[in-house]
């Protein structure tokens, strides 16, 4: 297949998501590591939009249904395409994965550490660094574009509420533990972000846990069927969440199609040094853009200035002034990590109602 065709495939992969990835040689090399010419040709001819059912696919190719299913199966094994059954109509919908979130997660979700995975980790890291250069060179224009994109994730405070009242729809309030009880199908998968860091010889500095990301419902069924993860009981999930809190990790909920009015699709337990979304922010690639319902409040009379909250805060939003911790509210994502770890119980979470936290990425000085 010609390079021009590969660039067309890469363009479709980028358009399957919301983030503006560069269409460059690094992305092409990454795709060539995951798919062959036949699969690339199939993606180019079929996926004019990222979500298709079998009838829609048949209209766009002369291949037989058996040939279509064979290629789809190959793509699903690689995590390039997912196939999940619609709960309303019972029809399987095949979705082309964008680079992030999408390919990055599925290609590293199994926790493998082979040569292929090492190469993938290197290429993703290179791609993110190239994105950093692009953003920094066109900072004002690109940050303005991100203001029009929906937040990727929703912050779930430590043992606080995962649901809110978005817009005008009233939704019951539930804490982290109760949300787990909503689902019969839960898959435990390896943290793709820490797996990438391990493959880059830059292991996590916050936790030794690797298998602590969760998928729910349709996503869980797909992950279990294709060996991206394994089934796990609700009680065991709660043990993992408690361990994550002790390590100072941030609970992040990802909703179907990034819509907080829809069900949760995944929960990740994230650290500042590995999490892909935190890294996109700290590398100066994109703003930190999330939904939250809380903000931290520091009781300065009780604060002894020990600095624990400064060390633990994933957004670096707390500083010491005159030996007392002071919070920058515009950067607080309401994760509750500082609350959970304050030895003096000098910090609490205040309910704000659903809010969109948008923190522009740092401007990075050239070396």
The 3-state DSSP class for residue 89 equals coil
Residue 333 near residue 357, CB atoms below 8 Å: yes
According to the model, what pLDDT value does residue 153 have?
66
* Region(s) of the chain under CATH 1.10.10.10: 3-143
Q: Specify whether domain 3-143 bears CATH 2.30.130.10.
A: no
Q: For 206-223, what is each residue's pLDDT tens digit?
A: 999 999 999 999 999 999
How far from the centroid of its chain's Cα atoms is residue 146's Cα?
16
28: confidence class by pLDDT, cuts 50, 70, 90: very high
3.40.50.1000, 3.30.70.20, 3.30.70.120, 3.40.50.280: CATH of 144-359: 3.30.70.20
> With 0-12 CB in 10 A as exposed, 13-18 as middle and 19+ as buried, what is 357?
buried
Q: Does the pLDDT value for residue 94 go beyond 90?
A: yes
Which is more confident, 142 or 119? 119
Q: Compute the distance between CA of residue 348 and CA of residue 218 in angstroms, rounded to an integer.
A: 36
According to the model, what pLDDT value does residue 90 have?
82
Token pair of 59, please? 């209209």
Query: What is the maximum span of the chain, computed from C-alpha positions, in angstroms?
Result: 73
Q: What angle do CA 254, 259, 264 make, to 5 degrees?
A: 40
Q: Does the pLDDT value for residue 309 go beyond 80?
A: yes
* Region(s) of the chain under CATH 3.30.70.20: 144-359
Name which of 260, 245, 331, 249 is nearest 296 in CA terms: 331
Name which of 68, 72, 70 is nearest 82 in CA terms: 72
Residue 252 near residue 268, CB atoms below 8 Å: yes
Residue 314 near residue 272, CB atoms below 8 Å: yes
Chain mean pLDDT for the chain: 88
Q: What is the pTM of this model?
A: 0.87
Q: How far is CA 251 from CA 30, 210, 240, 267, 283, in A?
A: 29, 15, 11, 7, 21
Average pLDDT value for residue range 45-66: 95
Q: For 126-176, what is each residue's pLDDT tens digit?
A: 999 999 999 999 999 988 888 887 776 666 665 544 444 333 222 222 356
Helices (H), the chain: 3-15, 25-34, 37-46, 54-58, 65-78, 104-108, 115-137, 139-146, 176-180, 192-199, 217-225, 234-246, 276-282, 308-312, 337-341
Token pair of 240, please? 């993992």
Q: How far is CA 294 from CA 14, 32, 69, 330, 333, in A?
A: 33, 43, 46, 12, 7
According to the model, what pLDDT value does residue 169 have?
26
């Amino acid at each position: 297949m010609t390079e021009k065709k590969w660039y067309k495939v890469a363009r479709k992969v980028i358009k399957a998501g919301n983030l503006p990835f560069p269409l460059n040689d690094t992305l092409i090399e990454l795709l060539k590591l995951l798919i062959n010419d036949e699969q690339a040709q199939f993606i180019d001819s079929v996926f004019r939009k990222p979500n298709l059912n079998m009838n829609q696919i048949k209209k766009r190719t002369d291949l037989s249904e058996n040939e279509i299913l064979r290629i789809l199966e190959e793509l699903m094994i690689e995590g390039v395409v997912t196939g999940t059954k619609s709960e309303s109509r019972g029809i399987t919908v095949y979705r082309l994965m964008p680079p992030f979130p999408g390919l990055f997660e599925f290609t590293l979700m199994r926790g493998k550490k082979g040569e292929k995975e090492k190469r993938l980790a290197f290429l993703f890291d290179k791609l993110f660094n190239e994105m950093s250069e692009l953003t920094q060179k066109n900072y004002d224009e690109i940050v303005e574009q991100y203001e029009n994109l929906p937040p990727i994730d929703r912050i779930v405070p430590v043992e606080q509420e995962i649901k809110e009242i978005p817009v005008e729809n009233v939704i019951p309030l539930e804490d982290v533990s109760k949300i787990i009880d909503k689902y019969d199908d839960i898959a435990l998968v390896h943290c793709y972000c820490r797996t990438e860091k391990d493959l880059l010889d830059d292991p996590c500095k916050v936790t030794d846990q690797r298998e602590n990301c969760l998928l729910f419902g349709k996503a869980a069924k797909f992950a279990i069927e294709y060996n991206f993860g394994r089934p796990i009981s609700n009680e065991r999930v709660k043990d993992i969440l408690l361990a994550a809190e002790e390590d100072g990790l941030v609970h992040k909920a990802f909703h179907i199609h990034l819509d907080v009015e829809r069900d949760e699709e995944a929960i990740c337990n994230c650290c500042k040094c590995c999490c892909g979304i935190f890294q996109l922010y700290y590398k100066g690639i994109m703003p930190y853009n999330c939904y939250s319902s809380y903000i931290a409040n520091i009781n300065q009379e009780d604060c002894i200035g020990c600095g624990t909250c400064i060390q633990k805060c994933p957004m670096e939003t707390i500083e010491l002034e005159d030996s007392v911790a002071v919070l920058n509210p515009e950067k607080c994502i309401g994760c509750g990590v500082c609350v959970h770890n304050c030895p003096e119980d000098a910090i609490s979470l205040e309910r704000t109602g659903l809010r969109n936290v948008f923190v522009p990425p740092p401007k990075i000085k050239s070396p």
